[in-house]
Amino acid sequence: MERIQAALKKAREERDQTTPAAPAPTGQPPAETHERKPDPLVLQQSQWVGDCEALWKSVKGFNPSDRWLKRNRIFAFQSCEEAVPYDVMRTKVLHNMRKNKWSRLAITSPSLGAGKTMTSLNLAFSLARQSDLRIMLIELDMRRPSIFRTLGIKEPCQFSKALAGEAEPQDHMLRYGRNLIIAANQAPARNPAELLQSNRAAHAIDQIQAAFQPSIMIFDTAPLFAGDDTMAFLDQVDCALLMAEAEKSTTEEIDKSEQDLAARTNVLGVVLNKCRYLNRHEEYGKTYGY
């Protein structure tokens, strides 16, 4: 965390050195300014310079094989027929997050097996195919972490240590390409609910966002009915996607999950996964251009 804090300190010093605007003449009210805040999801080329770019480059790169990714149903790293549903989701997510100036998205499900981790990874890879975005995917399902295994990561990686203040975040992150960082856990963490509710974890996430300046942070969180881990963290995000499993997630589970999410954050939508029966118009990308 020391390197991140040093980067933030340098950025503050540079801002303090900027020349203030000249005061208005005596007896006249100051002129109104209408400075437009930059869209957090639109990456300006100047943002890639200095400490922020150095931080991204300091994260160790990894390049899993295409065969391994496809074997684990991760398709959206490239444009293909199987990636189209995730590309459609990407567009809808971007539209809503830009409109509301949101940057933090949690993905969860009522119970185990709905495909939230697979969706988180595919959405992250799909977003990262837009070169003007910087994406961070952070695994917060620390009871049954699976990103490490799904991506075939070989390097030691335990991001829960960074949340607990026991390690530098960069040491437990991996960078795919130029603009996607993934923070995973190779083993379950102790007391994950208490960790996620701690001020230390919230401060760590804030520091990471301030230093790395990602366009979107995606959090792969634990199932809602698995404990209070996700509920403990929802105050830290702008919105959430709820994954439902076809033929398994019940209407009652989905309704209860939506209510619990809406009480703590904005519900971006419900995604039905593992659906074997689709109407013809719902089969995105079939034969068109592929």
The residue extents of the domains of the chain are: 60-274
- The whole-number pLDDT of residue 113 equals 83
Distance from C-alpha of 96 to C-alpha of 94, rounded to nearest angstrom: 6
**Angle 2-16/51-58 helices, nearest 10 degrees?**
170
How many angstroms separate the CA atoms of 290 and 287, rounded?
6
**CATH 3.40.50.300 assigned to 60-274:** yes
Summarised one tens digit per residue, pLDDT across range 83-120 is 999 999 999 999 999 999 999 999 999 988 888 999 99
Mind listing the pLDDT tens digit for each residue in 49-88?
457 888 898 899 999 999 999 999 999 999 999 999 999 9
Cα separation, 158 vs 140, in Å, equals: 11
The pTM score is 0.81
d(CA 92, CA 84): 13
Instruction: Provide the pLDDT for residue 118.
Output: 94
> Is the CB of residue 48 less than 8 Å from the CB of residue 162?
no
